[in-house]
Structure 1
Amino acid sequence: MRAGMELGLSEISVFLRLSAILFLVLTACLVGLDAQSKRIFYTERKATFKDLDALMVLVYVESAAACYNLLHLCKRSISTWFEGYSKWSLCVSWVILLVDQVAAYITFGANLAALQSAVFAVTGEKDFQWMKLCNRYSRFCIQIGGGLLGGFVASLLMALLSSISAFDLFRHYSPKRFLFLKSA
């Protein structure tokens, strides 16, 4: 019964990682390749993701998180060749949990920072004399909005992966092992 549950959890983890990679790459591509040009008073002005620092950070964070998930899937496929429980696998489980949590928090934070910048681009800010960008570059803003939506879905998937990593780590511990009790 337990082996079936572990196999199911492993398959769910692989599916979630593949889905997270898909959404992370989609977000990075939508935001990073987005550009729109407009002629304003005889000059050509081009809006790109490099105009807002938060969008640049978002592209880099989402790309790094996608690479991490891809490396984790490669590690998982290689580790199936070396079955068995050891202290080494326990240490690796701790590292995976910590990196999964860091990746989840950083992707969520980068998405929130990009969302805040996008809100300023939509509404403007009179106190800082920032003008609205989305009334001139509407296609650019719609594509950024789609990228942010994909980024939040990826963040949710990363949070789910972090909880699965926590379960995978803490299932190695038992009360008898923790208290150094021997079974009778």
Structure 2
Amino acid sequence: MESGIQKMEALLRLTALSMLVLTAFLVGFDSQRNVVFYIEKKASFQDLRALVGLVYIDSLAAAYNLLQLSCSSFSAWCKGRSLQSCTYVAWLRFVLDQAAVYVVFAGHLAATEHSLLVVTGEENFQWVKWCNKYTQFCFQIGGSLLCGFVSSVAMIFIASISAFNLFRLYFPTNFMHLKPKS
């Protein structure tokens, strides 16, 4: 069972890593030029601060997942070590995984909110709708946000696995086992 959990965690980390890298590349290289009233204008991810932040967040989260993948597996490290040192490492991984999930999910929500303002416009602030003029830009940002939410879901499952690995140290013999019928 432990080997299956490790394989699932590695698969989820690879999925999250690939989706985070894909999101960062799609957002980072997205731009479109358009001629408006004889003036060439360019729409870029740098025009929206939430998208700039999203590129940084996704890059850091991808590096974190790559680091976790490249480190030796948790249970292999714990063999032959004291329970206390394993508990410290499990708590560290749990807290870092939780923080990564929250930061990535918040970054994607902020970018989605900012992108929706670009799609719908806001008359009170005299913001125009960009997607009428820059359709390719908007479709690429939309696809990248979808990839980002897939990575967020994968990271939620990773955080659940790290929580399982942490709390089973407190109940090593019968954690998550059903009681037999009497």
TM-score by length of 2: 0.89
Structure 1 residues 122-161: aligned runs within 5 Å = 122-161=119-158
85-94 vs 134-143, which moves further: 85-94
Matched position secondary structure for 1:121 = helix
In structure 2, the residue matched to 1:181 is none
In structure 2, the gaps of 5 or more residues are 174-182
Confirm or deny that 1:6 pairs with 2:2: yes
- C-alpha RMSD of the superposition: 1.8
39-48 vs 49-58, which moves further: 39-48
In structure 1, the residue matched to 2:92 is 95
Q: Aligned partners of 2:171, 2:74: CA distance in 1, in Å?
A: 27
In structure 2, the residue matched to 1:76 is 72
Q: Aligned partners of 2:114, 2:62: CA distance in 1, in Å?
A: 23
Judge conservation of contact 2:78–2:86 (CA < 8 Å) in 1. Answer: no
Taking only the aligned residue pairs, the percentage that are identical comes to 51
- 2:54 corresponds, among 55, 58, 63, to 58
Matched position secondary structure for 1:47 = strand
In structure 1, the gaps of 5 or more residues are 177-184
- Residue 74 of structure 1, CA deviation: 1.2
Confirm or deny that 1:167 pairs with 2:158: no
Q: Aligned partners of 2:172, 2:21: CA distance in 1, in Å?
A: 41
- Residue 83 of structure 1, CA deviation: 3.5
Cα 1:119/1:42, change in 2 over 3 Å: same
Give the count of matched residue pairs.
172
Q: Aligned partners of 1:76, 1:45: CA distance in 2, in Å?
A: 49
Q: Describe the superposition over 1:84-119 as per-residue Cα deviations: whole angstroms up to 9, x where unpaired.
A: 342222111101100100100111000000000111
Confirm or deny that 1:48 pairs with 2:44: yes
Confirm or deny that 1:117 pairs with 2:126: no
TM-score by length of 1: 0.89
Cα 1:6/1:82, change in 2 over 3 Å: closer
Confirm or deny that 1:31 pairs with 2:32: no
Q: Aligned partners of 1:128, 1:72: CA distance in 2, in Å?
A: 44
Judge conservation of contact 2:15–2:154 (CA < 8 Å) in 1. Answer: yes
- Residue 43 of structure 1, CA deviation: 1.8
